[in-house]
Amino acid sequence: MSGSAVRDALDTVGLSTAGAPSPRASSGSAPFFSVRGVSKRFGAVRALEHVDLDLGSDELLVVLGPTGAGKTTLLRTIAGLERPDTGSLRMRGGEITGLSPAERDVALVFQNFSLYPRWTVRKNLEFPLRAPGRNVPPAEIQRRIEWAAELLNITRYLDREASRLSGGEMQRVAIGRAIVRRPKLFLMDEPLTNLDAKLREVLRVELVQLRRELQTPMIFVTHDQAEALSMADRVVVLAEGRVLQVGTPREIYERPVSPVVALQLGQPAINLLRVRREGGQWLSTDGTPLLAVADTGSADTSPADTSPAEGLLGVRPEHLSLDGGSLAPQGVVVSVEYIGPTTTLLVEWAGARVHIVLPRRAAPRPGDRIRPRIDAARAVFFPPEGAPRLPGSAEPTFLDRGSARRSDPSHASSLSSAAHPTFHPPTKDMP
């Protein structure tokens, strides 16, 4: 979801873009690469603000964020093309903040391929190995070229000019030019964005397999949630220069720490409903009863006793069903989209328009009256902006019986214990 779409969705429920500040991901061993407190401004524009992140020695870390989030600035800072205003970068325990790009030995693959169009594929692949100071013997250069070409399935194009290649073939050559160097770290700046949808799917799989074969860590930035969910070992959610949450794709999707994070993943986007607690029920703004408070808490931590009286209820479209029963409040189907194995409904319900994703066999029609039911175990309660955190817990509250996942210490690395800061939309895109 784009930055403007996120802001529009939040405006609908009266929120600004708020998120948790720079959580660090813990691991059992020292990270291969780490960023600590990095900030970067371009004039009045804040590109990065106190960014912290860790990368393991055999990990694919995806940085997910909309246009203007600061993703490219982060990669350029890691590569040494930009100097941070504050903060430090370390690789294998050593400080690299002051090192030149060549001294860092990282490979950066750009969105626009950056090939020499009149050179052959072979010459493009040779170029980084013949750079001044490399001193790679000619026989070793040819060995690496043949190895990379075979690995990327571009051997038959070695003597073809780059200008005569398709988009997918050019991107493979760009990746090949990075791997022949055998760098310590790969940096990928939205390398699949300019390709068609089917080719993106193919190259997503190929990139993951390639990284595993090379056993070289990679930081991959994207605005595409499909790439983040399918490729990442861990995801870093970035918005307006700040890290909002770090965790596995499943953690980010199922346990977002804020509405901003929740809106980054999921198609259709998560449903956000303003609710208030009244008479043992969570009610929508128009008074529709959505959930019983008794059904949304555990024996030892009941929202009736601990949660704010008002807040925001996040419900994924697939966590709404049509089996609400005869006493459930009715909704009216506005539109029906048949999308392969599923059907997506847009429904007027509880004073709002919500999306519901159903198996293909379900076939309501526009105008039909239905009785939706929320899966309470999957709903997420976000407190109002500025509300204090509950003692001994990390917000938001996850409305599942037993609260096992809510209190699981394994989530401590991806949920921050500090209050959510408030962000204000920038006047222009980040560099």
Same domain membership, residue 401 and residue 294? yes
Other Cβ atoms within 10 Å of 341 Cβ, number: 8
Residue 209 lies in a domain: yes
* Mean pLDDT, the chain, integer: 82
Same domain membership, residue 379 and residue 248? no
Residue 90 lies in a domain: yes
Q: What backbone phi and psi angles, to 5 degrees, belong to 273? A: -120, 125
Same domain membership, residue 235 and residue 205? yes
d(CA 87, CA 82): 13
Q: Please give the DSSP secondary-structure letter assigned to residue 28.
A: S
Same domain membership, residue 222 and residue 275? no
Same domain membership, residue 237 and residue 314? no
**Residue after which a domain boundary falls, among 228, 258, 288:** 258
pLDDT score at 409: 31
Q: Which domain holds residue 96?
A: 3-258
Residue 366 belongs to domain with CATH number: 2.40.50.100
**Residue after which a domain boundary falls, among 226, 258, 290:** 258
d(CA 178, CA 163): 19
CA distances from 188 to 59, 208, 253 (A): 13, 12, 23
Residue 421 lies in a domain: no
Whether omega for the bond prior to residue 329 falls within 30 degrees of 0, making it cis, is no
Same domain membership, residue 200 and residue 83? yes
Q: Is the pLDDT of residue 431 over 50?
A: no
Average pLDDT of span 210-225: 94
Q: What backbone phi and psi angles, to 5 degrees, belong to 312? A: -125, 130
Residue 144 lies in a domain: yes
Whether the CB-CB separation of 18 and 383 falls below 8 Å is answered with no
Whether the CB-CB separation of 220 and 249 falls below 8 Å is answered with no
Same domain membership, residue 313 and residue 214? no
Which of 47-51, 55-59, 192-196, 300-304 shows the lowest per-residue confidence on average (mean pLDDT)?
300-304
Same domain membership, residue 236 and residue 352? no
pLDDT score at 4: 56
**Residue after which a domain boundary falls, among 213, 234, 258:** 258
Q: What backbone phi and psi angles, to 5 degrees, belong to 138? A: -55, -40
Residue 419 lies in a domain: no
Q: Please give the DSSP secondary-structure letter assigned to residue 153.
A: T
Same domain membership, residue 253 and residue 273? no
Same domain membership, residue 155 and residue 92? yes
Residue 303 lies in a domain: yes
Percent above pLDDT 90 for the chain: 60
Average pLDDT of span 170-192: 92
Same domain membership, residue 195 and residue 302? no
- Tell which residue, 27, 76, 80, has the closest CA to residue 54: 27
**In the block, residue with structure tokens 């090379």:** 214
d(CA 120, CA 115): 10
- Tell which residue, 273, 391, 268, 237, has the closest CA to residue 339: 268
How large is the C-alpha radius of gyration of the chain?
24
Q: How confident is the model at residue 309 (pLDDT cuts 50, 70, 90)?
A: confident
Residue 424 lies in a domain: no
Select the more confidently predicted residue: 85 or 21. 85
Q: What backbone phi and psi angles, to 5 degrees, belong to 283? A: -110, 145
Residue 428 lies in a domain: no
Q: Is the pLDDT of residue 99 over 90?
A: yes
- pLDDT tens for residues 224-259? 999 999 999 999 999 999 999 999 999 999 999 999
pLDDT score at 200: 87
d(CA 235, CA 267): 17
Mean pLDDT is highest, among 36-45, 361-370, 383-392, for 36-45
Instruction: Please give the tally of structural domains in the chain.
Output: 2
Residue 115 belongs to domain with CATH number: 3.40.50.300
Same domain membership, residue 41 and residue 144? yes
Whether the CB-CB separation of 264 and 64 falls below 8 Å is answered with yes
